[in-house]
């Protein structure tokens, strides 16, 4: 168990920092891992292959894996600096159904897995779009169109606006805090913008699931 989980002030939110090895990302991951797991238990197939994009330090994939013993998980990230953390968590948990991480840059299709060698039933991505441009959704859709199996889907978790509006006052407060950092790509994205980004790759929004803390899981499938 990590320090962020055991220290007396573990519920106190650290300063927002999107680096995958930051205390903030660990804090957020520990808050949302159980609601996401509950949803994935309903959504994931009983067996198959699942790819996580932007795995980061490996908290989620290593927490989920023991609950799906017949699924083969593949972690990935743009930043190879996090690979050692993913592997260490895998070893500590004894997760034999997690493969070695691979590098995927959603802006560079040359880094995408070869569909002739491996395809996936599910691709999932957690808490990225509040600190990433909508263009990342275009790359994610291209990736899905390339490597998803027939009937596969992409699951995107996070906070979003809908039709230009905030779904709750707390999400507006959170967005204002993110925007105050002055980083151009930061800020809550609109579900409709993700739909537009996915359409050229032949993917459509099939379902929108409400999760605790005013977050969604967006499920994209082939149109």
Mean per-residue pLDDT of the chain = 90
- Kindly report, residue by residue over 60-79, the tens digit of the pLDDT: 999 999 999 999 999 999 99
The predicted model gives 98-112 an average pLDDT of 97
pLDDT reading at 147 higher than 70: yes
Q: Looking at per-residue confidence, does 208 or 176 come out higher? A: 208
Return the residue matching tokens 């023991």.
66
* C-alpha to C-alpha distance for 44 and 123, rounded to whole angstroms: 10
- Kindly report, residue by residue over 190-199, the tens digit of the pLDDT: 999 999 999 9
How far CA 112 is from CA of 65, 99, 129, 156, in Å, comes to 23, 16, 19, 18
pLDDT reading at 38 higher than 50: yes
Percent of the chain with pLDDT over 90: 74
pLDDT, residue 5, reads 36
CATH class of the domain at 3-222: alpha beta
If you count DSSP H runs as helices and E runs as strands, how many of each does the chain have, helices first?
7, 7
pLDDT, residue 46, reads 96
- Establish how many alpha carbons lie within 13 A of residue 127's alpha carbon, considering only the half-sphere containing its beta carbon: 24
Question: Which burial class, exposed, middle or buried, applies to 189 when counting CB atoms under 10 A from its CB (0-12, 13-18, 19+)?
Answer: buried
With a CB cutoff of 8 Å and minimum separation 6, the contacts of 141 are 154, 197, 198, 199, 200, 201, 203, 220
pLDDT, residue 6, reads 37
- Kindly report, residue by residue over 154-168, the tens digit of the pLDDT: 999 999 999 999 999
Domain-by-domain residue ranges, the chain? 3-222
């Amino acid at each position: 168990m990590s320090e962020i989980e055991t220290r007396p002030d573990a519920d106190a939110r650290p300063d927002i920092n999107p680096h995958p090895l930051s205390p903030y990302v660990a804090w957020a991951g520990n808050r949302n891992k159980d609601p996401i797991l509950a949803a994935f238990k309903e959504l994931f197939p009983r067996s198959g292959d699942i790819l996580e994009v932007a795995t980061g330090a490996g908290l989620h994939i290593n927490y989920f894996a023991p609950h799906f013993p017949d699924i083969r998980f593949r972690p990935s990230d743009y930043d190879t600096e996090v690979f050692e953390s993913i592997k260490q968590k895998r070893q500590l948990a004894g997760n034999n159904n997690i493969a070695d991480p691979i590098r995927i840059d959603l802006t560079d299709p040359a880094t995408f897995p070869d569909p002739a060698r491996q395809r996936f039933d599910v691709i999932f991505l957690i808490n990225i779009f509040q600190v990433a441009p909508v263009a990342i959704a275009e790359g994610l859709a291209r990736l899905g169109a390339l490597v998803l199996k027939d009937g596969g889907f992409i699951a995107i978790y996070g906070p979003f606006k809908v039709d230009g509006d905030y779904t709750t006052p707390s999400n507006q407060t959170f967005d204002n805090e993110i925007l105050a950092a002055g980083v151009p790509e930061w800020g809550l994205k609109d579900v409709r913008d993700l739909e537009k980004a996915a359409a050229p790759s032949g993917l459509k929004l099939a379902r929108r699931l409400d999760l605790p803390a005013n977050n969604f899981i967006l499920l994209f499938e082939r149109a």
